[in-house]
Amino acid sequence: GENVEQHPSTLSVQEGDSAVIKCTYSDSASNYFPWYKQELGKRPQLIIDIRSNVGEKKDQRIAVTLNKTAKHFSLHITETQPEDSAVYFCAGLPTGTASKLTFGTGTRLQVTL
């Protein structure tokens, strides 16, 4: 099955700096990669996703890049703000499992003033 590895497990940045979280996946046929944000005490919520037919997608201060050859994808947050502090999860959709995402282990991002 699919294996998704996520790094780093914790990340601390100063407000205004950029943050990058990286994930690798094992199943070369995986074709959908969402990112979820979980604020303290709240449910995970989708913030951005990318499909394997594109290399990059942006939504205001967040962007995701995908390198199919290397089998890795990354979340980029620019001009970080305190409200970006949360746990972020990447995920991949393995072949033959129409709905079952495999999640990474999560990155705790702390944005300091």
Partner 1 sequence: DVKVTQSSRYLVKRTGEKVFLECVQDMDHENMFWYRQDPGLGLRLIYFSYDVKMKEKGDIPEGYSVSREKKERVSLILESASTNQTSMYLCASMEQGAGNTIYFGEGSWLTVV
Residues facing residue 38 across a β-bridge: 87
Nearer to partner 1, 44 or 86 (CB): 44
Q: Work out whether 6 is an interface residue with partner 1 (CB under 8 A).
A: yes
Least CB distance from residue 53 to partner 1, whole Å?
11
Q: Work out whether 49 is an interface residue with partner 1 (CB under 8 A).
A: yes
- Helices then strands, counting H and E runs in the chain, come out as 0, 11
Choose the stretch contacting partner 1; rule: CB under 8 A; options: 12-20, 54-62, 78-86, 97-105.
Answer: 97-105
Residues facing residue 77 across a β-bridge: 19, 62
> What are the backbone dihedrals phi and psi of residue 82, each rounded to the nearest 5 degrees, phi first?
-55, -35
Binding site for partner 1 (CB under 8 A): 1, 6, 9, 31-32, 34, 36, 42-46, 49, 51, 89, 93, 98-106
